[in-house]
Every structure is written in structure tokens, then in C-alpha cells.
Amino acid sequence: MDKNQKMSDKILCFLYKEMTEDESVEFLNSLEENPFAMQEFLEIQETIESIQPFSFSPSDKLLSKVHAYASYSLISPQ
């Protein structure tokens, strides 16, 4: 794994709160020392923030269709 991939992995771990407090502090210090890593961090953070408004929950209409299909499957012989 190259340095860029390791940094990307660390950025994602930080953004998704998968680091301990000590690891987070160390990571933030390393960003301050590396402008390229800071730029990558800001780009990844912006991307994550831009996709968060999307809903990953099914709509009520879809749930109704699934429920109706499941009910039909239980009643109908196959």
C-alpha cells in the first residue's frame, strides 16, 4: 500500500470516527504538517458532506409494494 492510499484510509477513519482520541490528535497534527494531505482531507470531507443529504431509506410507496407482495406470496400457492 502506498503513502497516498494510507493517508486516504486514515482520512476516512477520522471522518467516520473510527479513531481513538489519541489517534485523532496525532492525525490532525500530521495534517497540519502536510499541505498535500490537508488538501486531500478537505476534498474527501467535502465529498462526504455532499452525499450525506441523500436518503438511503426506502420510500413509503416502496415499502407498501414490498408489503403487498409479501402478503400476496403468503396467500397465493406457488
Domain extent, residue 63, equals 3-75
Q: Tell me, what's the pLDDT at 58?
A: 79
Helix (H, G, I), strand (E, B) or coil at 51: helix
Task: Give the contacts of 36 (CB within 8 A, at least 6 positions apart).
Answer: none
pTM for the model: 0.62
Q: What is the pLDDT of residues 40-53, one digit of tens each?
A: 999 999 998 888 77
- Distances from the Cα of 21 to the Cαs of 4, 15, 33, 76, in angstroms? 23, 13, 19, 56
> How many domains does one find in the chain?
1
